[in-house]
């Protein structure tokens, strides 16, 4: 279970605090068990500083606390604080990556029959899609729906989400497409062929949680090969 430690202190020497954190990161390379660290300043009280440190588990946090480098940095932290820092230990019971959930929602909605869903709760109206397979970028929800309908018309398909990484306003999704070629697709008549294709999509999200932009990379050549659309000389 993910474990989070909150370290609160009072200091007006934030620059020195940041230098301490830089030193700790440098000195504990290859040793530390922390996976994420954030230092924040209270808007209502600029001397109130909170450090949020994430660990894979409580046991890993204790290993990290036992490092001599961690103890030395803590003693230096005490020296620049107006009072002894306090610690709060938290076991994470829910960790919802909201942007990642929005990206997953698209991969759940795109498969299906007939007209594409509205997608209004997933994308902004002037969504911008970058796909190297298209001559021009797809811009706007209506254009995106038409793009999805091309795939719906050609395949019964689904996506398997293999990995997702969220950082800032970006979500990277590694996926596998599974489909059966049931209808015309880019001029290729239906073959009944079962196909798979792997790819990666990066989505940029807005602060209100909708997707504003997308970048696609996927094995289109491999898909065409499975459909028998390529001559051996084209491979």
C-alpha triplet 125, 163, 212: angle, nearest 5°: 15
Instruction: Give the model's confidence band at 141: pLDDT under 50 very low, under 70 low, under 90 confident, else very high.
Output: very high
Instruction: Give the model's confidence band at 224: pLDDT under 50 very low, under 70 low, under 90 confident, else very high.
Output: very high
pTM of the model: 0.72
Which domains, and CATH codes, for the chain? 3-91 (3.30.70.100), 98-234 (3.10.450.50)
Q: What is the chain's length?
A: 235
Structure confidence by residue, pLDDT tens digits, 80-106: 999 999 999 999 887 678 899 999 999
Is-contact 224 235, C-beta < 8 A?
no
Structure confidence by residue, pLDDT tens digits, 168-192: 899 999 999 999 999 999 999 999 9
Instruction: Give the model's confidence band at 1: pLDDT under 50 very low, under 70 low, under 90 confident, else very high.
Output: low
Cβ-count burial 146-179 (b if 16+ within 10 Å, e if not): ebbeeebebbebebeeeebebeeeebbbebebeb
Using left for φ > 0, alpha for ψ between -120 and 50, and beta otherwise, residue 62 falls in alpha
């Amino acid at each position: 279970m993910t474990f989070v430690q909150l370290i609160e202190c009072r200091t007006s020497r934030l620059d020195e605090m940041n230098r301490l954190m830089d030193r700790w990161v440098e000195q504990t390379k290859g040793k530390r068990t922390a996976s994420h660290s954030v230092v924040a300043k209270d808007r209502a009280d600029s001397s109130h500083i909170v450090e949020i440190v994430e660990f894979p588990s409580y046991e890993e946090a204790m290993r990290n606390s036992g490092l001599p480098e961690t103890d030395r940095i803590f003693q230096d932290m005490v020296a620049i604080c107006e009072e002894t820092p306090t610690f709060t230990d938290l076991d994470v019971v829910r960790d919802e990556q909201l942007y990642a959930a929005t990206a997953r929602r698209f991969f759940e909605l795109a498969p299906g029959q007939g007209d594409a869903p509205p997608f209004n709760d997933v994308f902004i109206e002037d969504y911008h899609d970058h796909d190297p397979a298209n001559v021009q970028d797809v811009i706007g929800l209506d254009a995106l729906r038409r793009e999805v309908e091309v795939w719906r018309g050609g395949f019964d398909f689904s996506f398997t989400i293999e990995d997702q990484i969220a950082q800032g306003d970006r979500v990277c999704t590694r996926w596998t497409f599974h489909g059966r070629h049931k209808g015309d697709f880019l001029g290729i008549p239906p073959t009944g062929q079962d196909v798979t294709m792997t790819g990666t999509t990066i989505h940029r999200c807005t602060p209100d949680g909708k997707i504003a932009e997308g970048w696609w990379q996927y094995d289109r050549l491999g898909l065409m090969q499975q459909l028998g659309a390529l001559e051996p000389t084209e491979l």
